[in-house]
Amino acid sequence: MTEQNMTSLPAQGATAARSAPPTAVRKNRSRLLWVTFTMVLMMALGAGGLYFHQHVQQQQFQQQATNQSLHQQLTELKQHQLKEKTQLASLLLEHNKALETANRQQDALMQQLNALQEKVATISSSDTKIWLLAQADFLVKMAERKLWNDQDATSAVILLKNADTSLADMHDASLIEVRRAIIEDIGTLSTLSQIDFDGIILKLNQLSNQVDNLRLADNSIEDPSIEDGNNQLSSSLSQWRQNLYKSWHNFIADFITIRRRDNSAEPLLAPDQDIYLRENIRARLLIAAQAIPRHQDEVYKQALETSATWIRAYFDVNDANTKSFLVDLDNLSQQSISMNMPDQLKSPPILENLTKIRTRHLLTSTSDTHQEQ
């Protein structure tokens, strides 16, 4: 139905309504309403279809855009995976190369280790025994140096015991003779008197610190003094002569001092001479202390005797400190600091000869082995 016909229908309907009977008019109105409803419905359906079409088209556009975005992301993801795959392949290749290099180095180290084990395996038990024998010989010679040069019997005994231990580790029955000689040397050195040299040195240092406590001797014999009562001046004018005499006598007594001496008395010391005397005594005690580790018995005793002589000559021998000091000096001077060392040890020449023989035999056998190879 065209738009012109639709506009002409109401006019015709109105004319017909005016000319038609009431029943026909109602029919026409019903028909008109139906047509109008149909047109409105068709327009609504058309508008709804248009809206639905547009909505569907918009959703299609959005879906296409989403699909394109997903496709682009999928493409980028594939490229990223391909790149990572390439990097992983490169890393695997480098790792394989490094592993091959490590395997080659390990093979080289294993070859070196096998060669070293072969060299170690070639060392015979005789070589080890020669080394232990040479070690024992060195320890015995060190014991001799400690004994003769340092006068140290204790260290010499320790070195001899270590030498005997080295020989015992050889498990060789032919070493009984040299081991017996070492044991005899240990017994000889063990019987030497053990002197507390450190204690003697400490005692001398103590005496050196006590020199300042010694009291000098006073050898003067004073004239008997006038009684105090006679020295008092009188208040009486008639005794002016006695007062003059007493005043003059007091003046002379304070101005001049007269001391009587015999041939055995020592002169008094001036203050500077007192200091020198005490320092000289300390020096003698120091000389005695230095002579102890050198075992210089004569030097030691002479230094102590000189110190005692000076103390008895210039200091008060009746003083308690001086008496104690002299007693300590006498006791120390009676202590011998020399040691009766043996003339020689039995084990060094035997062990040295045995070492030379076995070393020469080892060198000869080794040379023959190389010639056979």
Do 325 and 212 belong to one domain? yes
Do 306 and 199 belong to one domain? yes
- Is residue 263 in a domain? no
Q: Which parts of 149-210 fold into alpha helices (H)?
A: 153-168, 176-190, 197-209
CB of 222 closer than 8 Å to CB of 256: no
Phi, psi of 260 (to 5 degrees): -95, 140
- Is residue 297 in a domain? yes
Do 141 and 63 belong to one domain? no
Q: Single out the residue in 96, 122, 148 at which a domain terminates.
A: 122
pLDDT of residue 2: 43
Per-residue pLDDT of the chain (373 residues; tens, 9 = 90+): 444 444 444 444 444 445 445 677 677 778 788 888 888 888 888 777 777 777 778 888 888 888 888 888 888 888 888 888 888 888 888 888 888 888 888 888 888 888 777 665 655 556 677 888 888 889 998 988 888 777 778 888 899 999 999 888 888 888 899 999 999 989 888 877 667 788 889 999 999 999 998 888 865 444 444 344 455 666 665 666 676 667 666 666 555 555 555 544 444 566 667 888 899 999 999 999 998 888 788 999 999 999 999 999 889 999 999 999 999 999 998 888 877 777 788 888 888 888 888 877 766 665 554 454 4
- Is residue 169 in a domain? yes
| Rounded-to-integer distance, Cα 97 and Cα 104, Å | 11
Phi, psi of 365 (to 5 degrees): -70, -35
CB of 28 closer than 8 Å to CB of 13: yes
- Is residue 95 in a domain? yes
| Rounded-to-integer distance, Cα 6 and Cα 28, Å | 14
pLDDT of residue 10: 47
Sign of CA dihedral 55, 56, 57, 63: positive
Do 315 and 210 belong to one domain? yes
- Is residue 116 in a domain? yes
| Rounded-to-integer distance, Cα 340 and Cα 297, Å | 12
Phi, psi of 216 (to 5 degrees): -70, 150
Q: How far lies 335's CA from each of 202, 292, 367, in Å? A: 14, 11, 60
pTM (predicted TM-score): 0.42
Q: Taking the CB of residue 270, how many other CB atoms lie within 10 A of it?
A: 9
CB of 137 closer than 8 Å to CB of 350: no
Q: Single out the residue in 194, 229, 252 at which a domain terminates.
A: 194
| Rounded-to-integer distance, Cα 184 and Cα 176, Å | 12
Residue in 340, 344, 310 with CA at minimum distance from that of residue 325: 310
pLDDT of residue 183: 92
Do 179 and 58 belong to one domain? no
CB of 311 closer than 8 Å to CB of 336: no
- Is residue 172 in a domain? yes
Do 72 and 151 belong to one domain? no
Do 212 and 302 belong to one domain? yes
CB of 204 closer than 8 Å to CB of 285: yes
Do 79 and 164 belong to one domain? no
pLDDT of residue 248: 64
Do 72 and 108 belong to one domain? yes
Do 190 and 205 belong to one domain? no
Residue in 262, 307, 256 with CA at minimum distance from that of residue 284: 307
Do 208 and 185 belong to one domain? no
Query: Could you give the number of structural domains in the chain?
Result: 3
Range of the domain at 212: 195-216+276-343
**Largest interatomic CA distance in the chain:** 206
Q: Taking the CB of residue 289, how many other CB atoms lie within 10 A of it?
A: 20
| Rounded-to-integer distance, Cα 237 and Cα 133, Å | 113
Do 60 and 115 belong to one domain? yes
- Is residue 359 in a domain? no
Residue in 197, 181, 194 with CA at minimum distance from that of residue 153: 194
- Is residue 228 in a domain? no
Q: Single out the residue in 100, 122, 144 at which a domain terminates.
A: 122
